[in-house]
């Protein structure tokens, strides 16, 4: 079993426990009190290159990324230095994230937020809405075609944006087949953790003309960003390379300096 498969096994157990503690019907009653949030895709297109700046403590591949870690300070720095949106990790076991971090960031910034999670159950989608998310990540590699389509429609029905993440040509085709209009191309293979920007360049050629493309992982320099923009990518998702800097905000501004 690879790391992605193990995460999904653990996530299904975790979600079942959360559903017992906070049943879906209770969660749905909370949605009416959630203020309207800014549009995710509009925010990405409002900049020369949309930056989804990530807030996370650690990852299975990188270990501890930032210590000490203050999600509020990090998010405010991102917002002040050109980020279009904030991605916040919801998984605690492998990434050190969770609802507390998401709430802290949501209360600190006005930017749209991505509920970055291994979504395996509709409960998580409704939870994202109640948390004040503007977008929800769906990872093609962990979902069946039926789940992918069903979850995408559920996200849209709650007036949120599905960000459909792919890693290879087969997954890209599956995303296209369900009508995804915002696709994240993860340059890191979640099964092997090998990272290369060539993944984005290869899969970009398959993308529908009107699809918003987000390149994720392995983006470290202003030159990387300029190259992706020249290839027609509308946005990038970056975390680790920013979080390892003394000032993540200054690092974000520098990353966007050539676009």
Q: Identify the active-site residue in 14, 79, 117, 165.
A: 165
Q: Identify the active-site residue in 186, 187, 215, 241.
A: 186
- The pTM of this model reads 0.96
CB 259 within 8 A of CB 229: yes
In the chain, where are the structural domains located? 6-28+37-255
Q: Identify the active-site residue in 11, 56, 129, 204.
A: 56
CB 85 within 8 A of CB 43: yes
Q: Identify the active-site residue in 79, 104, 116, 229.
A: 116
Tokens 């975390």 belong to 239
Catalytic annotation on 165? yes
The CATH number, out of the four listed (3.20.20.70, 3.40.50.10860, 3.40.50.1480, 3.40.50.2300), of the domain defined by the range 6-28+37-255: 3.20.20.70
- Residues for the chain: how many in total? 259
Supply angle C-alpha 221, 192, 69, rounded to 5. Answer: 55
Supply angle C-alpha 158, 163, 166, rounded to 5. Answer: 145
Give, for all 259 residues of the chain, the pLDDT tens digit: 788 899 999 999 999 999 999 999 999 999 988 998 999 999 999 999 999 999 999 988 888 999 999 999 999 999 999 999 999 999 999 999 999 999 999 999 999 999 999 999 999 999 999 999 999 999 999 999 999 999 999 999 999 999 999 999 999 999 999 999 999 999 987 677 789 999 999 999 999 999 999 999 999 999 999 999 999 999 999 999 999 999 999 999 999 999 9
Q: Identify the active-site residue in 11, 14, 54, 241.
A: 54
Tell me the per-residue pLDDT of 41-68, one tens digit each, with 9 for 90 and over: 999 999 999 999 999 999 888 889 999 9
Cβ-count burial 216-250 (b if 16+ within 10 Å, e if not) = bbbbbeeebbebbbeeebbbbbbbbbbbeeeebbe
Catalytic annotation on 186? yes
Q: Identify the active-site residue in 59, 84, 87, 217.
A: 217
Catalytic annotation on 116? yes
Cβ-count burial 153-172 (b if 16+ within 10 Å, e if not) = ebbeebebbbbbbbbbeebb
SS3 215: strand
CB 101 within 8 A of CB 107: no
- Strand 235-238, strand 50-55: pairing: parallel
Q: Identify the active-site residue in 129, 216, 229, 241.
A: 216
CB 113 within 8 A of CB 88: yes
Q: Which positions ≥6 away from 33 have C-beta within 8 Å? A: none
Q: Which two tokens stand for residue 31?
A: 């949605």
Catalytic annotation on 25? no
Tell me the per-residue pLDDT of 6-54, one tens digit each, with 9 for 90 and over: 999 999 999 999 999 999 999 999 998 899 899 999 999 999 999 999 9
CB 164 within 8 A of CB 180: yes
Q: How far apart, in whole angstroms, are the C-alpha atoms of residue 80 and residue 104?
A: 17
DSSP label at 171?
H
Catalytic annotation on 159? no
Cβ-count burial 15-36 (b if 16+ within 10 Å, e if not) = beebbeeeeeeebeeeeeeeee
């Amino acid at each position: 079993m690879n790391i992605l498969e193990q995460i999904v096994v653990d996530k299904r157990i975790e979600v079942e426990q959360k559903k017992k503690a906070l049943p879906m019907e209770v969660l749905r009653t909370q949605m009416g009190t959630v203020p309207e949030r800014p549009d995710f895709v509009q925010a990405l297109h409002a900049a020369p290159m949309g930056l989804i700046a990530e807030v996370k403590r650690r990852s299975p591949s990188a270990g501890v990324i930032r210590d000490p870690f203050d999600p509020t300070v990090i998010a405010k720095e991102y917002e002040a230095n050109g980020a279009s949106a904030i991605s916040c990790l919801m998984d605690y076991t492998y990434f050190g994230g969770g609802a507390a971090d998401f709430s802290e960031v949501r209360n600190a910034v006005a930017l749209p937020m991505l509920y970055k999670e291994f979504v395996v159950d509709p409960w998580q989608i409704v939870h994202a809405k109640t948390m004040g998310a503007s977008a929800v990540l769906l990872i093609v590699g962990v979902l069946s075609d039926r789940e992918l389509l069903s979850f995408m429609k559920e996200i849209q029905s709650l007036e949120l944006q599905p960000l459909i993440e792919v890693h290879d040509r087969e997954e890209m085709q599956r995303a296209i087949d369900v009508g995804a209009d915002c696709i994240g191309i993860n340059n890191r293979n979640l099964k092997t953790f090998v990272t290369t920007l060539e993944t984005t360049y290869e899969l970009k050629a398959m993308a529908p003309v009107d699809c918003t493309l987000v390149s994720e992982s392995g983006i470290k320099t202003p030159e990387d960003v300029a190259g992706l923009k020249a290839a027609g990518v509308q946005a990038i998702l970056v975390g680790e390379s920013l979080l390892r800097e003394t000032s993540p905000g200054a690092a974000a501004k520098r990353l966007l300096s050539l676009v």
